Amino acid sequence: MKQKRFILQENELPTAWYNIQADMPIKPMPPIHPATKQPLGVDDLAHIFPRECCVQELDTEHDFIPIPEEVLDKYKSYRSTPLVRAYALEEALQTPAHIYFKNESVNPLGSHKINSALPQCYYAKQEGTTNVTTETGAGQWGAALAYAASVFGLEAAVYQVKISMQQKPYRSSIMRTFGAAVTGSPSMSTRAGKDIITRDPHHPGSLGTAISEAVELATTTPNCKYTLGSVLNHVGLHQTIIGLEAEKQMTMAGEYPDVVIACFGGGSNFGGIAFPFMRHNLKDGKKTEFIAAEPESCPKLTRGEFRYDFGDEAGYTPLLPMFTLGHSFKPANIHAGGLRYHGAGVIISQLLKDGLMHGVDIPQLESFEAGMLFARTEGIIPAPESSHAIAAAIREAQKCKQTGEEKVILFNLSGHGLIDMSAYDQYLNGDLINYRVSDQDIEQTLKSVPE
């Protein structure tokens, strides 16, 4: 009999995250201070982030880091997530490939971001913090943080990009339902916000303005820490629960992936599903291929440069060694809001540089076509971000059709698209277009990278 879904019991959940830094042949370069160019240590970062997260950020020694019991308990309210064999999609594509997806959309918030929001809030609470703050664009991270803060009894203040707040009102409803204070950014509640509004009273807001406000709140409020939903090493570490579960579930299915695929914003869900399998490439001679699917409109992996750059648009963060399009890069207004980021996380940038993975860029229309086919075959409406992974998986499956290879393809479904239906409406009405970035534009924004 053909088995469709593979589920782990609670007592089979992984009890440690995988820290790929310990096994990397070339370790990532450190974050550095923009003025002094000195490497930053745990103490420098712990002003802003929970200390334990900073320790994890820079840990290049321990390959497995135990998941605290309290976090594991909270994971149990939605983990394990199913590993699913996409028989109907395979059939529609007439491919000999075996396609599996890990369904990270089945949790209270509908995306993988909750996997890191829970430990970040747990560590903040442990350290005696009472308040957490962050920025959010489309709102997936803000919603996950609001939920995790409520779970651990913290107050959450979320700065949401003003224009996104107007475009996606239900995400702020979700955050407020979980008790978070949501403020459209720029706002009059911080110095940074006031300065921006004074200069430009109609500023629509950006991740840059929201980061400045959240960081200011964290540094000027006692017992308040700032949290981030992607890009940083500790976020990718927490997300490895995805791949560690998938590894056990693939064993249940009697298979091992030849190709592992995820969509790519800052790299957390990609790292989450890829690193545990990459471990076997690094240590056991496996030959799995790793593909990160980015939007054609924001192609830092395929067309960016490896440089030290700021993590945010405004240039407030430390400098990070990353594949970047330049922090002043302004991606087109595609619907996959979570993929509109100018750079790639530090670990992934090093892995890409060392040829251990590669990127592909997907046009917006191809991502929606893939999302539609997936919805009509597997019955799940994917987040526009996740549709990039589906599109890349379909490309691989079509190659197998050409060559006759029975490859095992595994991709991560990072979220569902039920709050993004206006994007589907626009697609169905024929109102969406592709946005290919010109070489000149990339050359221009790369000039914003500090020497």
Ligand X SMILES: *Cc1c(COP(=O)(O)O)cnc(C)c1O
* Omega before residue 186 within 30° of 0, cis: yes
Region binding ligand X by CB under 6 A among candidate stretches 4-12, 258-266, 301-309, 326-334:
258-266
Q: Which residue, 129 or 268, is less far from ligand X as judged by CB?
A: 268
Q: How many helices (H) and strands (E) does the chain have?
A: 18, 15
Q: How many CB atoms lie within 10 A of CB 346?
A: 24
Q: List the one residue from 56, 164, 268, 349 that touches ligand X (CB under 6 A).
A: 268
Q: Which residue, 129 or 172, is less far from ligand X as judged by CB?
A: 172
> What is the DSSP track for 170-234?
HHHHHHHHTT-EEEEES-TTSHHHHHHHHH-TT----HHHHHHHHHHHHHHSTTEEE--SSSSHH
Residue 397 in the binding site for ligand X (CB under 6 A) = no
Q: List the one residue from 31, 119, 243, 338 that touches ligand X (CB under 6 A).
A: 338
Which tokens hold the place of 430? 């024929």
Q: List the one residue from 80, 269, 317, 350 that touches ligand X (CB under 6 A).
A: 269
State whether residue 15 is helix, strand or coil.
coil
Interacting positions 42-101 with ligand X (CB under 6 A): none
Region binding ligand X by CB under 6 A among candidate stretches 67-75, 181-189, 324-332, 383-391:
383-391
The whole-angstrom separation of Cα 163 and Cα 203 is 9
Region binding ligand X by CB under 6 A among candidate stretches 189-197, 265-273, 372-380, 427-435:
265-273
Q: Report how far Cα 136 is from the mean position of its chain's Cα atoms.
A: 12
Question: Least Å distance between CB 323 and ligand X?
Answer: 13
**What are the E-state strand segments in 4-154?**
5-6, 16-18, 64-66, 83-85, 98-103, 131-136
Q: Which residue, 144 or 397, is less far from ligand X as judged by CB?
A: 144
Q: Please give the size of the binding site for ligand X, defined by CB under 6 A.
A: 19
Residue 140 in the binding site for ligand X (CB under 6 A) = yes
Alpha carbons within 13 angstroms on the beta-carbon side of residue 413 total: 28
Residue 265 in the binding site for ligand X (CB under 6 A) = yes
Of the candidates 417, 414, 410, the one whose C-alpha atom is nearest the C-alpha of residue 379 is 417
Q: Which residue, 268 or 364, is less far from ligand X as judged by CB?
A: 268
Residue 291 in the binding site for ligand X (CB under 6 A) = no
Residue 113 in the binding site for ligand X (CB under 6 A) = yes
Residue 266 in the binding site for ligand X (CB under 6 A) = yes
Q: Which residue, 140 or 364, is less far from ligand X as judged by CB?
A: 140
CB 335 within 8 A of CB 384: yes
Residue 296 in the binding site for ligand X (CB under 6 A) = no
Residue 264 in the binding site for ligand X (CB under 6 A) = yes
Residue 350 in the binding site for ligand X (CB under 6 A) = no
CB 87 within 8 A of CB 93: no
Region binding ligand X by CB under 6 A among candidate stretches 171-179, 247-255, 261-269, 422-430:
261-269
Which residues of the shown chain bind ligand X in the complex (CB under 6 A)?
111, 113, 140, 230, 263-270, 338-339, 383, 385-386, 414-415
